[in-house]
Chain A
Amino acid sequence: MNKALTPFEQSFRQFKKNRLAVAGFFIIFLLFAIALGTIIIDAATNYSFYKKYVIGQDLTQRLAGPGIKHIFGCDEMGRDLFLRILWGTKYSLFIGIGAIVVSLLVGTPFGMVAGYYGGRADNVIMRVMDVILAVPFMLLAMAIVAALGTSTVNLLIALSVSGIAKFARIARASVMTEKDNEYIEAAKAIGAGDFEILVKYILPNSFSPNLVQFSLGVGNSILLVAGLSYLGLGVQPPNPEWGAILTSAKIYMRDAWHISVFPGMFLVVAVIAFNLFGDGLRDAMDPKLKK
């Protein structure tokens, strides 16, 4: 290489070389475009389009198969499946991402405090995280939703609790590797306080492992949103969340395979996109893998 690149530029170059990761990035971009598009249409038409076509019923088209008029066919209420899937994008995307954001924002400070101070603080915090991780993720989320009731906010809380433990562990690990470095000593020597050291010096260094975990976590969290909705514990009908659409698909699978197939395809593609993107980020940022 001719000129010195910043670590960011190096990672970016590395990332661009990975075609699958770039493809993942474009799919994520497309999903965002769809989600924002549906939100804008709803705002512009004051939900009249939504009410008429997305949740409005047309029983003459009940379970209609895919065709020219309805490319993915219709569901048991005669609603166009394609439109419902498009309108469902925002749930998977925003709840999926939102849950991980909450986990990250809550988990990271805990992990950093545990890693930085060590001793009793570390013990208490990490044992609590162990406890959270001891309950299978899905079950914990189900129990929380069952206790708090089904709403979008509760769904977010349920999904982020387990993530908190994961992010706390990652943050703790990166703080522990950073805190013994000489530049931390130097910062202390010029009189930086603990808070300043954590935020200004250590936080930026734990950024990349968190970012990778973030992207990989979103895929998982999209699957969980859909799973909970499928069980009736997530987004409630008639809202067109992908998992919620699949709940009714089971009843009609003998007559209308298309209700099962298409929402699932969208789920798979969305999750693959986030996984590829996350894998790409990890490969680009992991100095061990660089040649």
Chain B
Amino acid sequence: MENILEIRNLRVTFHTDNGVVRALNGVDLKLRDGETLGLVGETGAGKTTLAKSVMRLISPPQGRIDAGEILFGEVDILKASQADMLSIRGNKISMIFQDPMSALNPVITVGEQIAEVIREHESLPSKEAWDKALKMLSTVGITADRAGDYPHQFSGGMKQRVVIAIALACNPTVLIADEPTTALDVTIQAQVLEMMAELKKKTDTATIIITHDLGIVAQMCESVVVLYAGEVVESGPVRDVFKKTAHPYTIGLLGAIPKIHLDEHRLHPIHGLMPDPMAPPEGCSFHERCDFADESCALNHPELRIIGDSHSVRCPKAVSR
């Protein structure tokens, strides 16, 4: 299958009063047509930065994209004109935001918030755009008579449905879902995921699901990219990464999930914290927390290398172990 989105060597930094935060340090990622890809990592790994880079929503002067290419078909998003960007955003690539509570504009009706994106990209008369917005609402399970209501009149789960409706309104080719369920209650999470899976079946949109929940990856994704401290540490088909886990960090992540069929008395967390993004350590960025690390890990920064069928890992010990 064709790569619909390809990110090469993406480097993003944020310049704050207290120093330079290295959010992404050379990330590569490929998304194939119709595929669902899980982007996994803990808070601060750079997941949201990656998503916003694809939308070119990293805002200067604090945020800077220092290097890299984001190829969407023939277009390099980082070099595209503003006009091209406007016709891509919300139309060909769209994004589901993390927190539905703050992602909806409190003073505009939800119907209008959906309709405006349709009006913008499909030259429809207002009436038809509005009708299509109503149709989108019912697609995500909200009755059309609520289109005139404001966000504060909706529950968290309903708001996230509205955000999803906005993202899907123009049938995008690529959808980026940034932790679409993190802000929701567990029961609502299941409903929203189920709905997304169904919509995905219907539309076959290539999707990147950003999450820190490996359960979601196992349930929804075909391939997975593990991000750690702004770097890809392991990537590949979900089956390979889960069964032939290669990177110590991924091993730790999978080990940290409590297993319902085992009688476990303790959780197995990864000890330590992610390195300070303003002062990343020498050598491998994970070596301080790694059970397998030796002196060479503190000196040499490992490269990403292929260890199986499109399965790559950033750890020199991955195979020998």
Number of residues of chain B lying within 8 A (CB) of chain A: 3
Is A254 at the interface (CB under 8 A from chain B)? no
Give chain B's interface secondary structure class: loop
Hey, what's the 0/1 contact readout for B5-35 against A, CB within 8 Å counting as 1?
Answer: 0000000000011100000000000000000
Is A291 at the interface (CB under 8 A from chain B)? yes
Q: Which residues of B contact A291 (CB under 8 A)?
A: 16-18
The CA of A282 and the CA of B83, in the complex, are separated in Å by 42
CB distance from A253 to the nearest CB of B (A): 46
Q: Which of A127-157 touch B at CB < 8 Å? A: none
CB distance from A18 to the nearest CB of B (A): 12
Q: With CB as the reference atom, state the residue of chain A lying closest to B16.
A: A291
The CA of A291 and the CA of B16, in the complex, are separated in Å by 10
Q: With CB as the reference atom, state the residue of chain B lying closest to A17.
A: B17
Number of residues of chain A lying within 8 A (CB) of chain B: 1
Q: Which of A228-276 touch B at CB < 8 Å? A: none
The CA of A291 and the CA of B17, in the complex, are separated in Å by 10
Q: With CB as the reference atom, state the residue of chain A lying closest to B17.
A: A291
The CA of A291 and the CA of B18, in the complex, are separated in Å by 10
Q: Which residues of A contact B18 (CB under 8 A)?
A: 291
Hey, what's the 0/1 contact readout for A271-291 against B, CB within 8 Å counting as 1?
Answer: 000000000000000000001
Q: Which residues of A contact B17 (CB under 8 A)?
A: 291
The CA of A35 and the CA of B248, in the complex, are separated in Å by 71
Q: Which residues of A contact B16 (CB under 8 A)?
A: 291
CB distance from A169 to the nearest CB of B (A): 27
The CA of A171 and the CA of B70, in the complex, are separated in Å by 55
The CA of A53 and the CA of B18, in the complex, are separated in Å by 55
The CA of A291 and the CA of B21, in the complex, are separated in Å by 14
CB distance from A96 to the nearest CB of B (A): 35
CB distance from B21 to the nearest CB of A (A): 12
CB distance from B136 to the nearest CB of A (A): 37
CB distance from B300 to the nearest CB of A (A): 32
The CA of A99 and the CA of B18, in the complex, are separated in Å by 41
The CA of A281 and the CA of B16, in the complex, are separated in Å by 22
CB distance from B219 to the nearest CB of A (A): 38
The CA of A291 and the CA of B62, in the complex, are separated in Å by 15
CB distance from B17 to the nearest CB of A (A): 7
CB distance from A19 to the nearest CB of B (A): 14
CB distance from A229 to the nearest CB of B (A): 44
The CA of A28 and the CA of B85, in the complex, are separated in Å by 52
The CA of A33 and the CA of B57, in the complex, are separated in Å by 53
The CA of A238 and the CA of B191, in the complex, are separated in Å by 81
The CA of A224 and the CA of B17, in the complex, are separated in Å by 39
Hey, what's the 0/1 contact readout for B150-170 against A, CB within 8 Å counting as 1?
Answer: 000000000000000000000
Q: With CB as the reference atom, state the residue of chain A lying closest to B18.
A: A291
The CA of A291 and the CA of B19, in the complex, are separated in Å by 13
CB distance from A287 to the nearest CB of B (A): 17
CB distance from A25 to the nearest CB of B (A): 22
CB distance from B19 to the nearest CB of A (A): 12
CB distance from B277 to the nearest CB of A (A): 15
The CA of A91 and the CA of B303, in the complex, are separated in Å by 73
CB distance from A283 to the nearest CB of B (A): 13
The CA of A183 and the CA of B17, in the complex, are separated in Å by 35
CB distance from A196 to the nearest CB of B (A): 42
CB distance from B16 to the nearest CB of A (A): 8
CB distance from B229 to the nearest CB of A (A): 21
The CA of A276 and the CA of B16, in the complex, are separated in Å by 24
CB distance from B301 to the nearest CB of A (A): 29
CB distance from A285 to the nearest CB of B (A): 18
> 3 closest A-B pairs (Cβ-Cβ)?
A291-B17, A291-B18, A291-B16
Residues of A within 8 A of B (CB): 291
3 sampled A-B residue pairs with Cβ under 8 A: A291-B16, A291-B17, A291-B18
Residues of B within 8 A of A (CB): 16-18
